[in-house]
Structure 1
């Protein structure tokens, strides 16, 4: 510690000694200045300076000595005891917080599972009176009243179906069954289910199905096509919707083209976002902003890419690009 102290103040010590030596030299060469008194004064100055250094050393190094002693005590404590009481308190606190967060997360997961099961159960319960309602509507003789009621019934049915699939999407991997799917039969069934709505709006369909079979999950593929068809019908007036499938670079392509109001160019990047409807027709209360969002989510595990081209006021074309057959074979081992 003394050595460090002297080294840190070496510049000041050398300066003081140089000044004392300089005073002696001046008195030695100058006959008017008596040498003996000057030497005596320098000697006293050296004694005073030495005493000053000793006093300052004790004052300035006292704090640093206490720090060194504290560090040594810490080192000895860490060697003798693996954990200090403070470290144990922190470790126990972190462990307790982790366990508490795990319990909360587990409880929240159980609550979500219970809520999902209750909602799915409720949807299935509602389907029973809804089916009975459809049978009663079909018996009506007033065709105008019948058409209006079927349209409203269909809207409720589609909303319930969308809600049902939305709750199942997080567990879609457990529900997938990849098989050869009859694409034409699937499309015709979806069109038939939407027939009353199409008749009311004067919308027809023009089918050009060159590729009739795809490797996919029939139930979830039907859900995607249903969302595209309802979207096309909702935003179209009296016109035809063109549906065609063809082969391109070993991939099956399915296109759904309508001649409705189209999509604004600035809205195209956002149409698959959850809850997004439109900036041009923002007051449209019929739009939920969920259909295309859910279709995109379902398409991902099916390895289907959804592309869209649209011009405002002219129409929209949605394109489903199915994966190559070997992509599914590598995943499923079929």
Structure 2
């Protein structure tokens, strides 16, 4: 017998033991009455000085009838117990099956339970409809906001001599970045069937991301130290690009003018991408919570730059892709983001 079968047998044995204990506890008054009844009859036989074989026959007959009765009661109790286990998954069908052999005294409780389940299902249905409506609205809004962003970008390209042109260009890029982040945030919850795992050139993803943020590198005089990786990883290219964009955007946001951002592969572990900056860093007490939804930490509250969604989104993406992300940081020195891109190919990926 293999380990899994043995563990299943142990669990089923433990469950049966628990059911028997629960049955005895529930019907302990019947057991006591039965034992007391046997004791009274035995006492009468002894007082009447009747032949011992009458007593033995009576006890055996009583035990047989009592055993059959309790076995019948236990079988019904066992079936009812197993039905109750399905109450969470199939509440309505389970209650209907329980109704066929229930005690009339339980009618009131069953009626209340059915009403509560119906109310819960209605509330859940309304909540899902409301959430879907909100998602549809925000998705539509995010797609529509892209139009004025593109229009502003074209206007700025025509008049690039304006005094505030550089600053407007940076702010426009930030608006576009936040818009994409919000759109990806909505999509990530429904991306289970949207993943397409292929062999991805990591350098292509990095170069396209760096090109997107080139304005911020140039205008803020942030030096880029990029060492080509020559790595090909198994991942979803679209979501991997979003992941790299989020990390690089964070580094640019918190790296002061004249700082440096390094992008390279770990010299000690294969398929581990490192994005390191000389930014303001993250406090040690904030590090355990940086991946929480909406948590911006001390830096976000002071600088009012953080939405608390970037790193949350990054971790959600790494989970979906089967990768891992880890951040090390020291206040005043900078942060190091390590993305382990190693992933074991699964049959369902193809």
When the two structures are superposed, what TM-score results if normalisation uses the length of structure 2?
A: 0.67
**1:299-318 alignment runs, 5 A limit:** 299-318=318-337
| Mapping of residues 1-334 of structure 1, within 5 Å | 83=102, 85-142=104-161, 144-237=163-256, 238-245=258-265, 251-279=270-298, 282-324=301-343, 327-332=344-349, 334=350
Structure 2 distance, partners of 1:116, 1:137, is 32
User: What is the CA–CA distance in structure 2 between the aligned matches of 1:126 and 1:197, rounded to whole Å?
Assistant: 22
* Backbone CA RMSD of aligned residues: 2.5
Closer, same or farther in 2 for the Cα pair 1:247/1:219, shift >3 Å? farther
Residue 316 of structure 1: how far off its partner (Å): 1.0
**Does the 8 A contact of 1:211 with 1:247 survive in 2?**
no
Equivalent residues, number: 255
Counterpart of 2:271 in 1: which secondary structure?
strand
1:95 Cα deviation from its structure 2 partner: 1.1
Q: 1:268 to 1:230 in 2, by over 3 A?
A: same
Q: Is the 8 A contact 1:211 1:252 kept in 2?
A: no
CA-CA distance at 1:204 after TM superposition: 2.4
Query: What TM-score does the superposition give when structure 1 sets the normalisation length?
Result: 0.71
What does the per-residue CA deviation read over 1:89-117, in whole Å, with 9 as the maximum and x for residues that have no partner? 22122112212211221121122112111
CA contact 2:247–2:337 (8 Å) conserved in 1: yes
The structure-2 alpha-carbon separation of the partners of 1:215 and 1:144, relative to structure 1 and needing over 3 Å to count, comes to: farther
Structure 1 stretch 296-305 or stretch 237-246: which is displaced more?
A: 237-246
Please give the secondary structure, in 1, of the residue aligned with 2:302. coil
Q: Report what 1:66 is aligned to.
A: none
Show structure 2 runs of 5+ residues with no match.
Answer: 1-35, 37-99
Query: Which string of whole-angstrom CA distances, capped at 9 and with x for unpartnered residues, describes residues 201-235 of structure 1?
Result: 11121111233311111111111111111111111
The 2-side partners of 1:188 and 1:177 are apart by 21
Question: Residues 210 and 246 of structure 1 are in contact (CA less than 8 Å); yes or no, is this contact kept in structure 2?
Answer: no
CA–CA separation in structure 1 for the residues paired with 2:299 and 2:102: 66
Cα distance in structure 2, aligned partners of 1:106 and 1:128: 34
**CA gap 1:136/1:96 in 2 versus in 1, 3 angstroms:** same
Match of 2:89 in 1: none
Q: Deviations over 1:25-78 (max 9, x none)?
A: xxxxxxxxxxxxxxxxxxxxxxxxxxxxxxxxxxxxxxxxxxxxxxxxxxxxxx
- Structure 1: any 5+ residue segments left out of the alignment? 5-80
Q: Is the 8 A contact 2:300 2:306 kept in 1?
A: no
What SS class does the counterpart of residue 152 from structure 1 fall into? helix
Gap change, CA 1:183 and 1:82, over 3 Å in 2: closer
User: 1:219-261, CA deviations, whole angstroms, 9 ceiling, x for partnerless residues?
Assistant: 1111111111111111112122110125756x41100010111
| Shift, 1:161, TM fit | 0.7
In the alignment, the residues of structure 1 paired with residue 118 and residue 299 of structure 2 have an alpha-carbon distance, to the nearest angstrom, of: 50
Measure the CA separation in 2 of the matches of 1:205 and 1:82: 75
For the Cα contact (< 8 Å) 1:211–1:245, is it kept in 2?
Answer: no
Within 2, Cα distance between the matches of 1:239 and 1:263?
Answer: 16
